[in-house]
């Protein structure tokens, strides 16, 4: 069965500056090269879901500019429904500048633009789309108030909600109440719970804190180590696949999008879905760029199901 996935999120044009090492404060360094590609956490997650054969739709906003047209066309190229992407006449399309060093590590600066000018009322036009979905995903590169309105609609129609709290910031209490699964990385989880993620004991403590906040289903991604998961039925750790990273941009987004295409609504196959998501992100980090680096199901199966 193919999941119907709706992504509410950001659309950014990424400019990546390739450098030997990160600059120190006040230091000027040369860039080896520059590349531009489609990105944004929302777009990355949607493309990852679509390339893993989920029937994918997008809710978002761009500016009335060439960058906006570029982003919409990038999603259409992966057969993603873009009918619910609106145009802001005042704000420009979101963008990001990525510093990428030779070790594959990155630092990212994001201009929200039209992503941040979205208003909760926009969700009223997408109620039927959300109601017909299996999974609704959102992140924090668009306003939390918009996500809350969308998640309320989702819960009214029995749709599973997945929240990726990135970039890390405090979460509206109301939003927690309508979130089925939260997927932070270790830094974001510590920001939200106040408990540093260092080992399995601290991961379990994070899970207990999220349960107290009303979210019983948790995944904490911990980079090249793997991913911790906790549901009322089970918990555990799925190790990452060891590869040499060229660019970690979009690795976490690939993970979430690929996972959303595989997961059952009752989370009963969470370990298998996480393994698949790890396989997908392990391929992403071996390539440059955001959208261009995200693999298809066929690529994942060819690499890991020999």
* Contact predicate 248/105, CB 8 Å: yes
Catalytic residue flag (residue 174)? no
Catalytic residue among 125, 180, 253, 266: 253
CA count, 13 A, side-chain hemisphere, 5:
33
On whether 275 is known to bind a ligand per the annotation, the reply is no
On whether 293 is known to bind a ligand per the annotation, the reply is yes
81 contacts: CB under 8 Å, gap ≥ 6 = 56, 57, 58, 129
Give the 3-state secondary structure of 160-183.
EEEECCCCCCCCCHHHHHCCCEEC
On whether 222 is known to bind a ligand per the annotation, the reply is yes
On whether 253 is known to bind a ligand per the annotation, the reply is yes
On whether 14 is known to bind a ligand per the annotation, the reply is yes
CB atoms within 10 A of CB 304: 15
56 contacts: CB under 8 Å, gap ≥ 6 = 5, 6, 7, 46, 49, 50, 78, 79, 80, 81
Give the SS3 label for residue 47: helix
* Contact predicate 42/11, CB 8 Å: yes
Task: Measure the CA–CA gap between 137 and 263, rounded to whole angstroms.
Answer: 13
On whether 27 is known to bind a ligand per the annotation, the reply is no
Task: Measure the CA–CA gap between 303 and 126, rounded to whole angstroms.
Answer: 37
Task: Measure the CA–CA gap between 281 and 155, rounded to whole angstroms.
Answer: 29
On whether 41 is known to bind a ligand per the annotation, the reply is yes
- In this structure, is the dihedral angle defined by the CA atoms of residues 205, 208, 213 and 218, taken in order, positive or negative? positive
On whether 252 is known to bind a ligand per the annotation, the reply is yes
On whether 102 is known to bind a ligand per the annotation, the reply is no
On whether 223 is known to bind a ligand per the annotation, the reply is yes
On whether 3 is known to bind a ligand per the annotation, the reply is no
Burial category of 139 from C-beta neighbours within 10 Å (exposed 0-12, middle 13-18, buried 19 and up): buried
On whether 221 is known to bind a ligand per the annotation, the reply is yes
On whether 169 is known to bind a ligand per the annotation, the reply is no
Annotated binding site for ATP: 185, 221-226, 252-253
Annotated binding site: 12-14, 40-44, 141, 185, 221-226, 247, 249, 252-253, 284, 287, 289, 293
Annotated binding site for K(+): 247, 249, 284, 287, 289, 293
As annotated, the active-site residues are 253
Annotated binding site for substrate: 12-14, 40-44, 141, 253
């Amino acid at each position: 069965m193919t999941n119907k996935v709706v992504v509410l999120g950001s659309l950014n044009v990424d400019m990546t500056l390739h450098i030997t090492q990160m600059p120190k404060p006040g230091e000027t360094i040369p860039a080896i090269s520059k590349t531009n590609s489609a990105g944004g956490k929302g777009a990355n997650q949607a493309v990852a879901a679509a390339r893993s054969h989920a029937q994918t739709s997008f809710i978002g906003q761009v500016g009335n500019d060439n960058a906006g047209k570029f982003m919409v066309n990038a999603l259409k190229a992966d057969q993603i429904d873009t009918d619910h992407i609106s145009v802001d006449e005042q704000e420009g399309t979101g963008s990001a500048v990525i510093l990428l060093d030779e070790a594959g590590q990155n630092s990212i600066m994001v201009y929200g633009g039209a992503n941040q000018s979205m208003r909760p009322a926009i969700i009223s036009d997408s109620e039927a789309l959300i109601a017909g979905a299996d999974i609704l995903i959102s992140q924090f590169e668009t306003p939390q108030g918009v996500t809350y309105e969308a998640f309320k609609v989702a819960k009214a129609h029995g749709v599973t909600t997945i929240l990726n709290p990135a970039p890390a910031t405090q979460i509206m209490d109301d939003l927690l109440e309508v979130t089925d699964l939260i997927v932070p990385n270790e830094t974001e989880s510590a920001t939200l719970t106040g408990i540093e993620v260092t080992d399995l004991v601290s991961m379990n403590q994070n899970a207990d804190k999220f349960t107290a906040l009303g979210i019983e289903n948790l995944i904490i991604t911990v980079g090249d180590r793997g991913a911790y998961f906790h549901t009322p039925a089970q918990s555990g750790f799925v190790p990452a696949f060891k590869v040499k990273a060229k660019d970690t941009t979009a690795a976490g987004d690939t993970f979430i999008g690929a996972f959303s295409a595989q997961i059952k609504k009752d989370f009963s196959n969470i370990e298998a879905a996480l393994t698949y998501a790890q396989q997908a992100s392990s391929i992403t980090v071996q390539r440059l760029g955001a959208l261009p680096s995200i693999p298809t199901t066929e690529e994942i199966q060819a690499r890991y199901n020999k």
